[in-house]
Chain A
Amino acid sequence: MMALRRVGAASAALALAGALAGTPASAQALPQPGAESCGGCHSTHGGAGAPMPSLHGLKAADITAAMLDYRSDRRQPTIMNRIAKGFSEDEIKAISNWLERQP
């Protein structure tokens, strides 16, 4: 029940965010496509994850700025440049916003 209540609260918060953004609430509650794959390498809920940086608690603007730098090869990471090139600027912003909202 604890878990259910947490999900309920998170969903309500997402619905609120969705309403603010002017998009359908239930569609907003689901992650931006691609966003959940980040969690394959990066911690998105705090805790372990080194040496890859945790994304938990990061600002959307900072994630977006880093991804756009990777995408344009302004920064030279080992792998994120290859992944960032699979997303448009709008998609990157939507993914960053979703990540920022994660509890």
Chain B
Amino acid sequence: MSRITRRAMVSGLAGAALLAKAGRAQAAARIVVIGGGYGGATCARALKRLGLDVTLVEPSATYVSCPFSNAVIAGLRGIEGQEFTYDALKREGVRIAPLSAVGVDGQARIATLSDGTKLSYDRLVMAPGIDLRFDALPGYDAEAASIMPHAWKAGSQTVLLRDQLRAMPDGGVFVMAAPANPYRCPPGPYERASLIAHYFKTEKPRSKIIILDAKDAFSKQRLFQAAWAQLYPGMIEWVPLSSGGKVTAVDPKAMTLTTDFQTFKASVANVIPPQRAGTIAQAAGVADRTGWCPINPSTFESTLVPNVHVIGDAAIMGAIPRSAFAANGQGKACASVIAGLLAHEDASAPRLINTCYSLVAPDYGISIAGVYRPGTPSFVEIEGSGGTSPLDAPAETRRTEAGYAEGWFRTITTDVFG
């Protein structure tokens, strides 16, 4: 304080007055956030902290985290550790509407909830996550998912897959169908296969894993494959698209997955189907023909419906992968953008980061990172930044990164829900 001159003090107070004026204009503004996942819950909290009136539309009282759910499937942790409530958001003054949103009228700026309630908004944040497409793979519908779980939304599906693997006799075959891009959590299928391999190696060493893949390359591929050769030799077979890996039909009764060339019989099957933005995004008209939501990367505002911002897995973010870390950063950046728009300020262009850890074994972690700026039409990675863990790192580095993975989970869940 001693270095602050009287003149600076006066201009500082003038600055504070200007901000208070902007704050009053903002105070009247109503923001509706649809979806209480990593993106939506983060954004709702950040908007509230900026002094805005925020309603979070989220039908579930408990959020079940997808990050670290692969460790639940492999029996390394309980599902309780994945569960978070909205109590902290409520304490900070975020209003929770415990219902689903069923429609958005972009002209009238009204969101309609499942009980008919209508919420007027000045700005709406759409963060509905993904929907699994039960119309994309012959034989795979919602009913089939009770026999061949997707476990790509955490909760009962996660527990079902874990229990099926527990019940499987040693010598069984676990078959996974991995989707083509884009989909939620690009390295997720391969982390899952890794941790299931760890479980098999420990408990059921004669068992096998087959990954039938609808693509020819995947995130952190060289790191995963090197680790598989080292930790689980001969246990994991990856069948890429070019070797006939794309699953074209499944039969839950027969427990078979069929490709163009072959039919695979599974003891336990995990079908991760194609995905699209959550249903409400389709109903609101913010999703395009791809099923995902195009946005202006400088503001996250939908290019299809004005005053609606789309963040997280539902949005088309260019080079940014669909991850919880990315959604968290987008939630905060989107809140800043909205506060700026309401104060009629040009907010600086967002700069986003992604950091994503995968566990190949409980003491073996690998990572990918990237830094992104708005480009045309969407986010581009900043040249020279980002990349994966080194291929030739010592075991100590893998142990350190496994510890960082768990630290990340604790920190981000505290940031969003704690």
Contact = CB atoms under 8 A, between A and B. Distances in A.
B23 interface: yes
A49 interface: yes
Chain B CB within 10 Å, residue with most, of A36, A40, A50, A52? A40
A33 B325 CA distance: 16
B60 interface: no
A61 interface: no
Given A7-B51, A19-B8, A30-B336, A83 B403 contact: no
A16 interface: yes
Contact of A79 (B352, B367, B372): B367
A48 B48 CA distance: 23
A79 B407 contact: no
B412 A51 contact: no
Given A4-B51, A43-B411, A78-B389, A83 B355 contact: yes
A40 B16 contact: no
Interface string A70-100: 0000000011001101110001000000000
Interface residues of A, dominant DSSP? helix
A15 interface: yes
Interface in A5-48: 7-8, 11-12, 14-16, 18-20, 24-34, 36-37, 39-43, 47-48
A82 B414 CA distance: 24
B387 A31 contact: no
Nearest to B400: A78
Interface in B294-346: 325, 328-329, 332-333, 336, 339-340, 343, 345
B329 A33 contact: no
B51 A40 contact: no
Nearest to A91: B351
A47 B345 contact: no
Given A30-B339, A33-B333, A50 B407 contact: yes
Interface string B380-401: 0010111101000000010011
A59 to B, nearest CB: 16
A8 B23 contact: yes
Contacts of B16: 11-12, 15-16, 25
Interface in B77-91: none
Given A43-B411, A82-B385, A83-B355, A36 B367 contact: no
A3 B92 contact: yes
A51 B407 contact: yes
A100 B415 CA distance: 18
B14 interface: yes
A12 B19 contact: yes
Contacts of A12: 16, 19-20
Chain A CB within 10 Å, residue with most, of B4, B339, B415? B415
Contacts of B415: 39-40
A29 B342 CA distance: 14
B49 A3 contact: yes
B377 interface: no
Interface in B2-58: 4, 8-9, 11-16, 18-20, 22-23, 46, 48-51
B159 interface: no
Contacts of A79: 355, 367, 369, 389, 401, 404
B172 to A, nearest CB: 36
Interface string B189-231: 0000000000000000000000000000000000000000000
Nearest to A6: B49
Contacts of A25: 14-16, 18-19
Given A8-B51, A34-B351, A29 B414 contact: no
A52 B371 CA distance: 19
B139 interface: no
Contacts of A78: 367, 389, 397, 400-401, 404
Nearest to A12: B16
A18 B404 contact: no
A35 B382 CA distance: 16
Interface of A: 3-4, 7-8, 11-12, 14-16, 18-20, 24-34, 36-37, 39-43, 47-52, 78-79, 82-83, 85-87, 91
Given A4-B93, A37-B325, A41-B404, 7 more contacts: A3-B49, A26-B345, A27-B348, A29-B19, A37-B352, A83-B386, A86-B371
12 contacts: A7-B51, A16-B12, A16-B13, A20-B4, A33-B349, A36-B332, A37-B353, A41-B408, A49-B410, A49-B411, A51-B400, A87-B371
